[in-house]
Structure 1
């Protein structure tokens, strides 16, 4: 596993992974995100930073994006830190060598506003797919849970997310809804990992003896490694999320999979973990 530190560029066998940051620091209080973590676990985590970012994977000649961040100009009544952003994300993506028309596959690990926003962009007063050639892989269980068919059972913020970031992709015929597992190619496989949302998923990479698992929001902050039974305040089913987290981290520790969370900021883009006590600990930061 070759890790180049300067730009969070990781080579996993024949798969190239590069991080593109949209928001480097959300300036959120980590304790408020995962309120159940004991005080003693927080010691040493005072400087933890939560970021919003996309991973660009190149595999078998195709470009795959893992999650698409918040997006610009969004109405997010329940998430003021995401309201009306104006970032240069597409320029940062271009600096990583990717134009919108180059993207073949978009993976949304789940339907939350900070994972699907750049699915679309505003054009002529309407939201249109940002990546015109891409297939968008979206968990079917989240489509059912956050879709307009449930009416007022869906919170206002989530209705807004669906309207501007999912529905336009659906109308364009670019959305593929999957369940259980979904193989993208010989190296990349999506697996259901429910709890954070009903359709939350992880993306597994296996190539040339290297392994990684992109875990979305199974982890929000590094302190959850030591307290994996503690779920975030954003989890739809905290108990199921904890069960899934422990299962995924256990496999990662036993099989030496690199763990790539969606929101670990700063230099901590990915981590190798080991079992320790009733939880897990960092063996090595990958970047």
Structure 2
């Protein structure tokens, strides 16, 4: 699965800043791209009405506004695990032609924030893509000097599940999605950097302490990312199998872009049940700050007990 040799972290690598969370010997940094506009929640999670959100008083003020509108963000997680620099999902990206006005032609300082955390593009060893949606693959590439899109992380393995890539290969895409593949996926494939991984029910370890877990429904090959430290502490990055903490209380609430809503709901139920009452730190790819927490049982469902950033 490896394309070339794994770069070694050396003296030329950017210095690390303090991590947002430390899980055993794993450092986790939240790399903000943008807060998403208030219209995102009602569009993305139509069943998460103001009344439904408002009844979960624990969601305010961090995860929803006083009127019951969910807050959502676009962000990545940069990790140090097993001696590797790892990036999980790459956001929307700058300068893209996108149908969604909130994503179109962004101009953010995402790469500067990533570098400030100690992850300059040339030192990233592994990029994990939970799935191939527009807001998770954008910084896979940047515009080169001739205007062509080139891989942002030239020394990295880019990894996604084989089921995910094969699904989109056979999908009748509309033009906006074809454009996204042209600028954010195909250049990585053409450079020989995209590795496709078979992810069985028990998951697939792709690096020491880093396992992909199958969490289908949002897309057929969607994966969550499980992190395990040498001391036995664990964390889990959700990707889009859970978009917002309101889904802890109401796992039946799905996204308007789930490819299989019933499977997505079943995945959420099973995942939350497995996490409830454990010490696993859960990090939501679209959760606003405090972004991370632990799952506890709450009535007949669940809630998230926040664990704020250490910074």
TM-superposition CA deviations, 1:155-207 (whole Å, max 9, x none) = 32221211111110000000001121321222110111110011110000111
Which residue is equivalent to 1:26?
Answer: 37
1:108 aligned partner = 129
Aligned residue for 1:165? Answer: 184
Residue of structure 1 in register with 2:159 after alignment = 137
Cα RMSD after superposing both structures:
1.8
Q: CA deviation at 1:39?
A: 5.0
- Total equivalences in the alignment: 277
Cα drift, residue 116 of structure 1? 0.5
Q: TM-score normalized by structure 2?
A: 0.84
- TM-score by length of structure 1 reads 0.91
Cα distance in 1 between the residues matched to 2:194 and 2:121: 16
- Structure 1 segments of 4+ aligned residues over 3 angstroms from their partners: 37-40, 284-287
The structure that is strand-richer by fraction is: 1
How far apart, CA to CA, are the structure 1 residues paired with 2:150 and 2:248?
38
Match of 1:224 in 2: 247
Where is the helix percentage greater, Structure 1 or Structure 2?
Answer: 1
SS at the partner of 1:18? strand
Structure 2: 5+ residue runs without aligned partners?
A: 1-16
Question: Aligned runs of 1:1-287 on 2, under 5 Å?
Answer: 9-37=20-48, 40-43=51-54, 44=57, 45=59, 46-47=64-65, 48-77=70-99, 79-123=100-144, 124-147=146-169, 149-150=170-171, 153-180=172-199, 181-207=203-229, 208-265=231-288, 267-287=289-309
Gaps of 5+ in 1: 1-5
Superposition deviation, residue 24 in structure 1: 2.8
Alpha-carbon deviation of 1:269? 1.3
CA shift in 2, pair 1:157/1:103, >3 Å: same
